Amino acid sequence: MRLTVSKFAMLADTTVRTLRHYRQLGILVPSQKNENDHYIYVNADFKRLHEIQLLQSLGLSLNEIKVCLDNPNYSFEEIIKVQEQSLRQRREAIDCSLALIERIQLLTEQDQLNESNSEILMLLMNSMRVEQAQKKLLQKYVSIDVIDQLFPEDFSKQTYLDGKLYNLLLLVHRAIVKGLNPDHPFIQQQLHGIFADTPLSDLIFNEEVNNEELYKNVKPYESLAPKHTMDFLKEAFEVFNTKKNSSLKD
């Protein structure tokens, strides 16, 4: 069978444009031409096209397909193994992204947010993205029970804490805009309201935690938020912790 590009495209359920693109890339170049110097497709080209389409369905790009098909040691079995690993990793990344989106959507549907701020939602989502690394870091300073409370598996508890963290970031934003210092009574009162009934207090008020060492180790994560926000939070927590410890001693 000898077919022109248009007839081949029709029978193969593809387009002339696609076939021309494949030819330009060098992954499907007909070996024959007719008397008018036009490319002619034969039976073997169907096999080649189906092979390209199969590799595309496995997630390979056209450039990756070209590398595979140009390799004399090309092994379809090896490609399957490599691509399976790649697809599983991509699926894991997609699942993580969808979980982050779901948490943000659940949070915005709750009434506990004082107001909606897209920039703060993005900061919060960035913090969620590195939670596994944060959990690993905190294992050095607090018990597993505290970590499980800080990062609960239960979605309702998780959303509740997300709201607390969101309102904390919003508090800092408002304070900076209004020119309030971290030790301002209103700021300290709001911090108490945010943390009083959360497991975060177990971390903040834990006298066994070396705060200086902890601050040093969380440096890589400070870039998740603007420097002025992190500086404000650090000073506010120091004042808050000092007052809390003083009240406990009294």
Asked whether residue 168 is domain-assigned, the answer is: yes
pLDDT at site 150: 83
Same domain, 169 and 70: no
Most confidently modeled range among 16-20, 197-201, 235-239: 16-20
Mean pLDDT of 115-125: 86
Integer Cα distance of 154 and 158 in angstroms: 6
| Residue 211 pLDDT > 60 | no
pLDDT band at 220 (very low <50, low <70, confident <90, very high): low
Q: Are residues 47 and 135 in the same domain?
A: no
Same domain, 21 and 138: no
Same domain, 70 and 180: no
Q: Is 85 within the bounds of a domain? A: no
As a whole number, mean pLDDT of residues 207-234 equals: 70
The 8 Å CB, 24+ separation contacts for 139-143 are 140/217, 141/203, 141/206, 141/208, 141/209, 141/210, 141/214, 142/202, 142/203, 142/206, 142/209
Q: Which of 16, 43, 74 is the last residue of a domain?
A: 74
Is pLDDT at 145 greater than 70 in this prediction?
Answer: yes
Answer whether residue 182 shows pLDDT above 80: yes
Residues 188 and 243 sit within 8 Å (Cβ to Cβ): yes
Q: Domain residues for 28?
A: 5-74
Q: What is the model's pTM?
A: 0.65
Q: Are residues 183 and 210 in the same domain?
A: yes
Last residue of a domain, one of 15, 41, 74: 74
pLDDT score of 161: 87
Task: Give the pLDDT confidence score for residue 41 in this predicted structure.
Answer: 93
Q: Is residue 86 assigned to a domain?
A: no
% of the chain residues with pLDDT over 90:
34
Residues 134, 203 within the same domain: yes
User: Do 176 and 123 form a contact (C-beta atoms < 8 A)?
Assistant: no
